[in-house]
Every structure is written in structure tokens, then in C-alpha cells.
Amino acid sequence: MKLTIADLADDQYAGRRVLVRVDFNVPIEGDQVREDYRLRRAVPTIEHLARLGARVLLISHLGKPRGRIVRSLSLKPVADRLGQILHVAGVRFSHDTIGEAAQQAVMAMKPGEVLVLENLRFYPGEEANDPAFARALASLGDLYVNDAFGTMHRAHASTYGAAQLFPIRLAGFLVQKEIKVLSQVRANPPRPFKVIVGGIKIADKLAALKALIPKADRVLLGGGIAYTFLAAQGMVVGSSPVERSYLGWATEVLARYGEKIRLPQDHIIARTLKDAPQLASGAILHGYRAFDIGPETSLAYTHELMQGEGCIFWNGPLGAFEVDRFAEGTITVARTIALAHWRGAMAVVGGGDTVASLRKAEVLETEMTHISTGGGAALQYVSGQDLPGLEVLSEKT
Ligand code: ADP
Ligand code: MG
């Protein structure tokens, strides 16, 4: 068990600078937050600390600026949206994350105020877990809290290096809740245990599937991840994404666990996302790629998922659902899982984009057992692997 923010006496927070790693990596359109689920899930921790008189410093990444300043990936719109959601007064924003200007912004805070610091990944030191960047981050705060469940599978400066520099490292309420539910799926899922994985972060997901496939009773694959397996079966997949280094492994897995693995049998294909879709039942033509599972696959997956028993764990959209004509497979699966839950199955869904797809499918938060803010992190944790950002937190004694 990890030490949480509730384990520290209330009077320990007054006036102190609390550095809170949050996961505000949310979909943005223009300067608007398109999906604020992750922001809302961070509110209990932020308000708890603010009410106890802490100076709350929020640090997060957004997107992939790769160590450079990318204006469209500023956290400013996120800070603005957070200001609308929070009940406590005053959300400020600092254009600097570390250094003199950031220190000054922190010094100017009153107890109970909240400051959002600019995107951590504008600095190359964040993803490199650079010791100097970690020290600069750590020097901003007196206490360290991690409530960014979605990034706990990464040993970056904000989730690992900086955390190590604090004598006490606390879990926030969101992390506490996530671990409570996901540890049940990890250790003792109701059977049958059905796992459905899609999405585009292919290497990450294949690595987690390695550990998860043996534990699951059924594995349904879709989205970008399916084509490495189909290519391993010898299917012609056109320009669909294939992770070459995993082909040998995929062949072995299909030989050993093929009975429980389901792959798309038909595909919605196009040359690019902007082109008109076509249906492919066998090989995918040269120059075309699959952007969604086809109707036959959707129907087969519906039959696999619709019973009200056991546990369903889903991460990763089945297609490029942001574009309406490639959204059908994802919407069908989302609604089928909600139906299975209504009938009594445990339903756990996670991932930034997967959660956004629930909105498109008009599935409500209350229609699932748990909606995790983590995709890769949830997948890795459920598969039995450790999360560096969780390991580094203090143990409850
Ligand atoms: P999550 O955030 O839920 O963990 P990922 O980040 O791995 O999921 O993947 C989400 C993205 O995958 C979505 O933006 C979706 O458009 C994309 N995607 C899914 N299937 C395909 C596909 N067949 N081709 C291209 N993109 C896809
Ligand atoms: Mg994603």
C-alpha cells in the first residue's frame, strides 16, 4: 500500500508548496479542451490540498512536443478550463515550468491557490529523466504528490527522477482509486476475463499484451494493433501499420494462444483518412490501409462481449473514430460493453482516446464499472508489470 495525501495530518499542508504531477494530456481542438474527463478526475486531490491551505503546483505534459516549445501544445487552455471546473479560488498559469520566472510565480502564490506550470515536455530533460531537470522541478516544491495515473508507466523526470528527491512521496486520490479497481482486474478478475485492445501506440501495447494474453480467456484485437498479427499470419495488409520487430513473437503467440485470440476478418480501408472508405474482406490493396474494423468483425465481437458475466477490460479504439466514417467499430464495441455491464459484467475501460470515444458513442460514465484515465498505464498494470511512477511512492508503514 502506498502513502496517500489523506495519510498525512491535515495541518502538514498549510502554506506548503505541494508539487502535484497530474495527467492533463487531454485532446485539444484549437484552444478548447475537447474532453475534460482527466481534469475532472484530478479535482478531488487539487481541492483537498487547496482547502488545507497548500500552494498547489500542477505539472503535466501535453502531446508530443519532443523537447521544444510548441505553442499549440501549451497547457494554458487546460488551465483556463480547470479554472471553470474548480470550486476553489484562483487558478494561475506560468509560461515557464522551471527556473527563475517559475520560482517567482510560485513565490507570489497565496495559500490555497493553484498554479499550472507549462508543458513539461517543452524541456528535453523531462522524457530523458535528466537529473538537472529533475532537481530544478523538485526545488519548486516542499512535498511531492503523483495523481497522474496515465503516466505512471513512464520513468520521466516528473514521475520518477524528481520524486526520488523528496523524503515523502504521496499518491493522490485518483491514483488511489485507480489502483483499487485495477488491482482487482490484475489479481483476480471475474471469469471469463475478456480483453479488448486497439489503438495506435503499437509497441507499448504489444509489450503489455505479452503478459496479458496468458491471463485472459479471450483477446479481441482491432485498431492499429491488429495488423502486426494479421501480417504474421501472412495476410497482405497494404500500408496498415506493422511492428516488424514483433512479427516473430506474434507468430509464436498465435500458435500457442490462437484459440483465444480474435482478429478482424473484414476492414474499412482507404488511401488516407480524407478518402472515401471501402470494405475489404481479404487482402488490403497496396496503398490502402485499414482505418476501422468491418461490419462482420463488429458483429463477431458483439457476440463475444455481450454476455453479462465475467470482466471486460478495454483499451484502445478499434478505428480512427475521430472521423465519423471510421467510427462504427469503436462505437459498436463501446455500446456492447455498456450493455454487458448493464447485464452484470464488470466493465473497465481506459485510455485518453478510448475515453473520448465513449462520448462519441454516447456511453455515460455510469454505464461502466470504472473508466480509467490511463491507457498504456492501465494495460501495463493489469498485465502484472510494475509502474515506475507508482513504485517510487512512499510505502504506508
Ligand atoms: P488510448 O489513448 O485510448 O490509449 P491510443 O493512443 O493507443 O489509445 O490510440 C488512439 C488512436 O488510435 C486514436 O486517435 C485513433 O484514431 C487511432 N486508431 C485506432 N485505430 C486506427 C487505425 N486502424 N488506423 C489509424 N488510427 C487508428
Ligand atoms: Mg492516446
What lies within 8 Å, CB to CB, of 139 at 6+ separation is 103
Ligand 1 atom 10 nearest Cα: 199
What global pTM score does this model have? 0.93
- The alpha carbon of 104 and the centre of ligand 2 are apart by a number of angstroms equal to 34
In whole angstroms, give the CA distance from residue 206 to residue 246.
8
Nearest CA-CA partner of 268 in 254, 283, 279, 260 = 279
Q: CA 378, CA 209: separation in Å to the nearest integer?
A: 12
Helix (H, G, I), strand (E, B) or coil at 261: strand
Query: Quick one: which H or E segment has residue 107?
Result: helix 100-107
> Taking residues 136-144, what's their average pLDDT?
98
Q: What is the pLDDT of residues 280-325, one digit of tens each?
A: 998 999 999 999 999 999 999 999 999 999 999 999 999 999 999 9
Residues 266-281 have pLDDT tens digits of: 999 999 999 999 999 9
Three-point CA angle 195, 201, 207, nearest 5°: 60
Nearest to 227 by CA among 293, 275, 276: 293
Q: Are 225 and 206 in contact (CB under 8 A)?
A: yes
What type of residue sits at position 35? E
Ligand 1 pocket: which of 301, 313, 353 to mutate (most atoms within 8 A of CB): 353
pLDDT at residue 89 is higher than 80: no
**Could you give phi then psi for residue 167, rounded to 5 degrees?**
-65, -35
**297 near 266, Cβ under 8 Å?**
yes
Q: What is the mean pLDDT of residues 181-193?
A: 97
Is 393's C-beta closer than 6 angstroms to any atom of ligand 1? no
With beta carbons less than 8 A apart as the criterion, state whether 95 and 116 touch: no
Regarding the beta carbon of 269 and ligand 1, being less than 6 Å apart is answered no
CA distances from 32 to 75, 351, 358 (A): 11, 20, 19
294 ligand 1 Cβ < 6 A: no
Per-residue pLDDT band at 183 (split at 50, 70, 90): very high
Mean of the per-residue pLDDT values of the chain: 96
Active site residues: 38, 201, 352, 376
CA dihedral defined by 36, 42, 48, 50, rounded to 10 degrees? -70
**If we measure between CA atoms, which residue out of 253, 263, 154 comes closest to residue 201?**
154
Task: Report the distance separating Cα 372 and Cα 231, nearest Å.
Answer: 31
Among 23, 38, 200, say which to mutate for ligand 1: greatest number of ligand atoms within 8 Å of CB: 200
Q: What ligand 1 atom has the least distance to the C-alpha of 241?
A: 24
